[in-house]
Homo-oligomer: A and B are copies of this chain.
């Protein structure tokens, strides 16, 4: 197992404190485990307090020995109840909490524990805090990308006519787990669960669902209405495989196209257009364009390539993003999307996914997890980008 080094939590905390100071916060609590994993290196049941001045303290309900082993913080304290937290934190005037995700009842009862303190929403800062990845974080994403590459290389071995989408998903998931994939992907939203097995074949690729994605798939039931289904994969269909991987909490997201026997020409052409958009947008990102500019550039490109009606879904189901940042959450800053007026900066990682959907026909697309470096970009997921046709 890899533990988060002390230099990591120290530099992350220093950056957080700078953001807190700007936001006039005397302290901040982190009780959403994804957020305190970033700052404390553990997902044991805990709450983290970061004061503007002084050392952070991790208050651990369960289990203290693991938290101490995993976290490089020097103050890791066992507690039985959140009520005792108050005794350790002095008298901050104004503290931050993740009001975007923490349940209403938790926030109001914890506010009572804190007493006469102003509570502010720190969630906008979290986006800023995490959007530049450190070399340590990138090393974990590189390891996730190696797993992804092996999973995609496995597909031609196991894909066969007549298997169900979900069957293929299960086989790939099982293989990925042997390589270190943790099995769950993570999104900040409560009503959208992430999953790896987004495998859509033939017409199913045009089915929309509750997800903010150009294509949802049939899924397994009304209770799981997205992703791979029990539909059998047939010869001559385009098969889109969008399979996310998580390693030590760090995710990569990839999409490739497959077929048995042959792929319909429409989808081969549309896939070429996706690849062209993918790389031309990356080139333009190097010039310093804002994410909103990159998005509208991609829309124009899709139009010029003759796929304006299909790009990122068909009306009225089009989505308004081409890329989502990725790291310990599957979808985080930056977003190549409408309204995003910042450029892609050095150290940002994002999954760029130009996709096309044809009503009642299906979908295709490519997706790579990309790191912006100094003056160049690097595709972390080094996976064959040709359409793979198996016999």
> Which residue numbers of A lie inside 8 Å of B, CB to CB?
1-4, 31-33, 37, 41-46, 61-63, 66, 70, 97, 99-108, 121, 123, 164, 166-167, 169-171, 173-178, 180, 182-184, 190-193, 195, 197, 208-212, 216, 220-225, 230, 246-250, 317, 328
- List the number of copies, as a whole number: 2
Q: Decide yes or no: A70 and B222 within 8 Å by CB, A104-B104, A174-B174 being known contacts.
A: yes
Residues of B within 8 A of A173 (CB): 170, 173-174, 183
Main SS at interface, chain A:
loop
Q: Are the C-beta atoms of A223 and B328 separated by less than 8 Å?
A: yes
The distance in angstroms between the C-alpha atoms of A367 and B52, with both chains bound, is: 48
Residues of B within 8 A of A212 (CB): 62
Query: Other CB < 8 Å A-B pairs besides A63-B216, A164-B178, 15 of them?
Result: A31-B191, A42-B225, A62-B209, A62-B210, A70-B225, A100-B105, A103-B190, A173-B173, A177-B197, A183-B220, A184-B193, A184-B195, A220-B248, A221-B249, A224-B246
The distance in angstroms between the C-alpha atoms of A366 and B197, with both chains bound, is: 31
Q: Are the C-beta atoms of A33 and B191 separated by less than 8 Å?
A: yes
Residues of B within 8 A of A99 (CB): 103-105
Q: Which listed residue, B32, B37, B100, B184, touches A222 by the CB 8 Å rule?
A: B37
The distance in angstroms between the C-alpha atoms of A4 and B108, with both chains bound, is: 36
A121's closest neighbor in chain B, by CB? B105
Q: Are the C-beta atoms of A66 and B104 separated by less than 8 Å?
A: no
The distance in angstroms between the C-alpha atoms of A100 and B104, with both chains bound, is: 6
A-B contact pairs, 19 of them (CB 8 A): A31-B191, A43-B210, A43-B224, A46-B210, A61-B210, A62-B208, A62-B210, A62-B211, A99-B105, A100-B104, A102-B190, A104-B106, A104-B108, A170-B174, A174-B174, A182-B221, A183-B195, A184-B193, A224-B246
The distance in angstroms between the C-alpha atoms of A121 and B202, with both chains bound, is: 45
